[in-house]
Structure 1
Amino acid sequence: RWIFLINLPIGIAALLILWTKVAESRNPAATGPIDLPGAGLVALGLAGITYGFISAPALGFGDPRVAGALIVGFVALAAFIVVEQHSGQPMVPLRLFRSRTFLGANLVTLLLYGALGVGTLFLSLNLVQSQGYTQTEAGLSFTPFALLLAGLSRWAGGLIDRFGPRLPLVIGPALAGCGFLLFAAVGLTSGPAAYWTTFFPGVVVFGLGLAVTVAPLTTAVMGAVPGDASGTASGINNAVARSASVLAIAVVGALVLAIFSTALADRTAGIDLAQSARAALQAQAAKLGGTGVPAGLSPAQAAAVQQSIKLAFVSAFNVVMLICTSLAWLSALIAALVIERQGNAPRR
């Protein structure tokens, strides 16, 4: 948990730079009150949907708390759209979405960042819980991704000047999808020693895809709106990115638990286990690859159960990677069909 404190000095440094180096700017037309109703409704909507999908695996979709949370969430988001249409100073001006490039870029963000959030989460779990990596080794395995993203972002930003936003936003997500597909093909490995021939190729291809995407995506969003709406556009796109990760993890997480539980039952069906041991396994299924071996088993039984847990999680992980591949490729298709070759800001 201490690792999260690394964000404190970085955040303080960013605030100091912002305070001393960045000139203040504001929209002179924004003189009305803050859109508190809109903010409240969107927060309630996202919270309800997230809680519903996260709680569903344990409680079931028929549970009143789950069903109620989902209903409240979707109704609140629908009400949010209505409120924004009639607000004098909306938090999310819906007129911005008249720009095909702005609309397309946010759809790409929703799908690709959803895949990014859920994909990296379950990749980390796979490395630690099933592949035998330590937490440090799992973190270091992402180093090529970080280096590619940092090293190529400036170059990728120049692509939009030469080719417009559409081409990099098609190629980048398509490459990212190929990276997810490579992860799905790995299976259960011998551990960190096999990293270079198993997970490394996927990390590189995935990193290349994100490096080609991130800077052009930001540029496309900012260039698709009038200058006085740039702050709002940036806020909307960042909110879409963060919401995409949270919602994708909630929805896909519920699916993963169901797949893992079924796969675990199937893989342990041929092992001679007492019913109490099988019940203990299923009771721990929410831990996914961290499910513990029940007490009282012989060494041979314990080894077989441990291997079944690893293989069951890898099966669920492969489904997650295929979902992420589909999301990334769908975002590439949307970019090709919706985003304009040269993004132009809509007229006021």
Structure 2
Amino acid sequence: MTSTPPAARPGGPAPLHDDRRLVLVVAILASFVVGLDSSVVNVALPAVRTELGGGLVVQQWVVDAYLVTLGSLVLVAGSLSDLFGRVRVVTWGLVVFGVASVACAVAPTGEVLIGARALQGVGGALVTPSSLALIVAAFRGGAQAKAIGSWTAWSSAAVIVGPVVGGLIVDGIGWRWIFVLTAVPIAVTIVLVRRVTGDVAADRHVHVDVVGAVLAVVGVGGVVLALIEQQRLGWGSPAVVAALVLGVAALGGFVPWERRVTRSGGAPIVPLRLFRARNFSVGNVATLSIYGALGMVGFVVTLFLQEVWGFPAWVAGLATLPPTVVLLALSTTVGTLAGRYGPRRFMAAGPAVAAVGALLMLLAGDSPGAIGYWTSVFPGLVLVGVGIALMVTPLTSAVLGSVPEAEAGAGSAVNNAVARIAGLVMVALAGVVLGGEMSVGGLHRAVVVMAVLLVAGSVVSAVGIVDPGRRGSATDA
């Protein structure tokens, strides 16, 4: 890679070192608020349908509108973070998210609610890569890995808190108040983030890559839209085909355009030189495989518990919590150890352990009962959780620790986009794996696919990831 100023190197001094504790609190709160909103919405869908009408279509788009804008804009947001500063972009994102939350709370119709949810996705896209980039800017070495572990743990806590708190609010005072729930901590976070100093200064001589931004939004958005809508309309639908063709065409033109911008000395949405860093390129390949598997886990197992074993929705929700609880308990410790010993062994071991957990669920049969759950699904999910905990923080540290601090926003955005798209693709393909409906055989096929993807991620990590400090390491392709 070309040389960079000491302050911009992955191992150089941290520009935000004077505000490290504050930076960590802000990054955690920002991600927690976004994650909390995502996790509480699902429990409100029946109440939304009852009050606003629109049937299943409105319910789907209350969720999907957020996913489409978030997934399509996250790359652009990462570039904006590097150009204009993480503090500024996080603040923008929180303001947009807060305004959108209020709009959701007062939405008079399903269409208005869907539009407000799409706007929330814009805010979430601005917040997600920038909050993690703040940590990369403030911490170095082992301290960075530990901080990322704390960020991962508390961000995951939103998944646990969300459905429980959201259910109580929906049943107690109404679904609209779940959006007020997120607006209040947003206001607190905005006050705190304005106290962070020493951020990357905006370069007013560099212009945003507008064409690259459009190609990224249309490309990712078109593919994501097609994957979501095909579940409702089918692959033969003209709307699905048009979205897919347009998305693929835009993505096909994205890389050549980014090369052109780079050669002209501009600021591309995705600096392609990031992929010269070995840990960045290998880490994203591992992310594609591992997060594809994880995207299917919660989806398939939750369906199985409800549709085959007949668990009530809230019981199924509790039954699938073990991975999140284990991740919350272990992430900070694993982050500390990975910072001391390097990420490779953790990234190799974690997916392998999770694969064993997935295969344990082959023991699940037609009969539910406490014994069936406790001897098949529960131990399988616990091992999946242990595997995720061993892998997530080291993976994030390996990927972001290999890029210059000045481009941490783009690096975070790329990794986040890869993870989200991988999960979306596997959920979209779940119908093929399940054979059209949920069954014991479908579950068995799904967990085998999960295990294969996890093992592939383990092998890629073991062979390709290099611990920092070794020769030919993280910065070499």
TM-score (normalizing by structure 2): 0.56
Q: Determine whether 1:84 maps to 2:258.
A: yes
Deviation readout 1:86-114 (Å, 9 max, x if unpaired): 22111111100101101111111122112
329, 332, 345: which one aligns with 2:455: 329
Is the radius of gyration larger for structure 1 or structure 2?
1
Q: Given the superposition, is the C-alpha separation of residues 61 and 133 from structure 1 closer, same or farther in structure 2, using an over 3 Å criterion?
A: closer
Q: Given the superposition, is the C-alpha separation of residues 333 and 60 from structure 1 closer, same or farther in structure 2, using an over 3 Å criterion?
A: same
- Three-state SS of the structure 2 residue aligned to 1:249 is helix
Q: Given the superposition, is the C-alpha separation of residues 14 and 218 from structure 1 closer, same or farther in structure 2, using an over 3 Å criterion?
A: farther
In the other structure, the counterpart of 1:42 is 216
Following TM superposition, by how much is the alpha carbon of 1:211 offset from its aligned partner in structure 2, in angstroms? 0.5
430, 447, 451: which one aligns with 1:253: 430
Amino acid in structure 2 at the alignment position of 1:326: V
In the other structure, the counterpart of 1:122 is 300
Q: Determine whether 1:183 maps to 2:357.
A: no
In the other structure, the counterpart of 1:269 is none
419, 425, 441: which one aligns with 1:315: 441
In the other structure, the counterpart of 1:140 is 318
In the other structure, the counterpart of 2:76 is none
82, 98, 112: which one aligns with 2:290: 112
Q: Given the superposition, is the C-alpha separation of residues 41 and 204 from structure 1 closer, same or farther in structure 2, using an over 3 Å criterion?
A: same
Check whether the contact 1:148–1:211 (CA below 8 A) recurs between aligned residues: yes
Which 5+ residue runs of structure 1 have no aligned equivalent?
261-287, 290-312
329, 334, 340: which one aligns with 1:151: 329
Instruction: Indicate the larger mover: 184-193 or 235-244.
Output: 184-193
Q: Given the superposition, is the C-alpha separation of residues 218 and 21 from structure 1 closer, same or farther in structure 2, using an over 3 Å criterion?
A: farther
Distance 1:218 1:96 in 2: 15
Deviation readout 1:265-313 (Å, 9 max, x if unpaired): xxxxxxxxxxxxxxxxxxxxxxx34xxxxxxxxxxxxxxxxxxxxxxx2
Distance 1:23 1:236 in 2: 26
Check whether the contact 1:133–1:191 (CA below 8 A) recurs between aligned residues: no
Structure possessing the higher relative contact order (Cα contacts under 8 Å, 6 or more residues apart): 1
Query: Mapping of 1:37-76 within 5 angstroms?
Result: 37-56=211-230, 61=235, 64-76=238-250
- Three-state SS of the structure 1 residue aligned to 2:199 is coil
Following TM superposition, by how much is the alpha carbon of 1:61 offset from its aligned partner in structure 2, in angstroms? 4.6
Distance 2:418 2:358 in 1: 21
Q: Given the superposition, is the C-alpha separation of residues 31 and 197 from structure 1 closer, same or farther in structure 2, using an over 3 Å criterion?
A: farther
Deviation readout 1:236-262 (Å, 9 max, x if unpaired): 212222222112212x234146x13xx
TM-score (normalizing by structure 1): 0.75
Following TM superposition, by how much is the alpha carbon of 1:130 offset from its aligned partner in structure 2, in angstroms? 0.8
Distance 1:20 1:91 in 2: 26
Distance 2:204 2:391 in 1: 32
Which 5+ residue runs of structure 2 have no aligned equivalent?
1-42, 45-162, 167-177
Check whether the contact 2:278–2:475 (CA below 8 A) recurs between aligned residues: no
Check whether the contact 1:132–1:192 (CA below 8 A) recurs between aligned residues: no
Distance 1:171 1:112 in 2: 12
Q: Given the superposition, is the C-alpha separation of residues 13 and 141 from structure 1 closer, same or farther in structure 2, using an over 3 Å criterion?
A: farther
In the other structure, the counterpart of 2:109 is none
In the other structure, the counterpart of 1:341 is 467
Q: Give the percent of matched residue pairs that are identical in Structure 1 and Structure 2.
A: 35
Amino acid in structure 2 at the alignment position of 1:45: G
Amino acid in structure 1 at the alignment position of 2:193: W
Instruction: Indicate the larger mover: 217-226 or 187-196.
Output: 187-196
In the other structure, the counterpart of 2:391 is 213
Task: Report the count of equivalent residues.
Answer: 295
Q: Determine whether 1:240 maps to 2:412.
A: no
Following TM superposition, by how much is the alpha carbon of 1:321 offset from its aligned partner in structure 2, in angstroms? 1.4
Amino acid in structure 2 at the alignment position of 1:123: V
